[in-house]
Amino acid sequence: MHLNMLKCKIHRATVTHAELNYEGSIAIDGNLLDAAGIREYEQIHAWNINNGERFVTYALRAEEGSGIISVNGSAARRVSTGDLVIIAAFVGLSEAEMAKYQPDLVYVDAHNRITHTNHSIPKQAA
């Protein structure tokens, strides 16, 4: 049996561009891709915190240190510049691989600079 698990996420990134007429994808600052372990052209899921929109596309590498989060093509209709998004990728793991599994979680500030990383999400309290 394989389980579809969260591989990584970039949490609360700020959309810097929404380019309707660009060939699809999300261009993401290369430093964020590296920190999260997302590869260029890898399928990603994006969730817009501001309006609840969700979509699936693929990652493109933007210039390292640029802070760019550019949502392109038809997905640009699901965001506005300044919206906060969570960008995530998933991986299929076997039961044996689960024994040492940890996701890569990247947290950013309002300028899409890394504030910290983690390998677990704190438990939600009541």
75 is in an annotated binding site: yes
Region of 77 please: left (phi>0), alpha (psi -120 to 50) or beta: alpha
Active site annotation includes 25 = yes
Active site annotation includes 58 = yes
Mapped onto helix, strand or coil, the DSSP state of residue 112 is coil
Q: Report the candidate in 118, 120, 44, 116 with the shortest Cα–Cα distance to residue 85.
A: 44
57 is in an annotated binding site: yes
73 is in an annotated binding site: yes
Q: Which of 58, 66, 101, 107 is catalytic?
A: 58
Distance CA 97, CA 68 (A): 33
- In the annotated binding site for substrate, the residues are 57, 73-75
- In the annotated binding site, the residues are 57, 73-75
Catalytic residues: 25, 58
